[in-house]
Amino acid sequence: MAKHQNVQKYKYYKIEDGKVIRLKKTCPRCGPGVFMAEHLNRYSCGRCGYTEWKKPEKKK
């Protein structure tokens, strides 16, 4: 029996005060809709292989 294969994209977003907030980082190469996987110190796109390093946070 085939099950529904709905990709719940909306789970990557949340609505707060009427604004859409992205919970995941999207790939600048593939465009919005392609989300990047988060690693400890970088993000990587599973589609094109783009890697973006996290910037060290400045603490005040």
Q: Which residues bind Zn ion (CB under 5 A)?
A: 27, 29-30, 45, 47-48, 50
43 is in an annotated binding site: no
Are 24 and 36 within 8 A, CB to CB? Answer: yes
30 is in an annotated binding site: yes
| DSSP 8-class letter at 29 | T
Neighbour-count burial of 44, counting CB atoms closer than 10 A to its CB (0-12 exposed, 13-18 middle, 19+ buried): middle
**Smallest separation, CB 9 to Zn ion (Å):** 16
Residue ranges at the known binding site: 27, 30, 45, 48
Residue ranges at the known binding site for Zn(2+): 27, 30, 45, 48
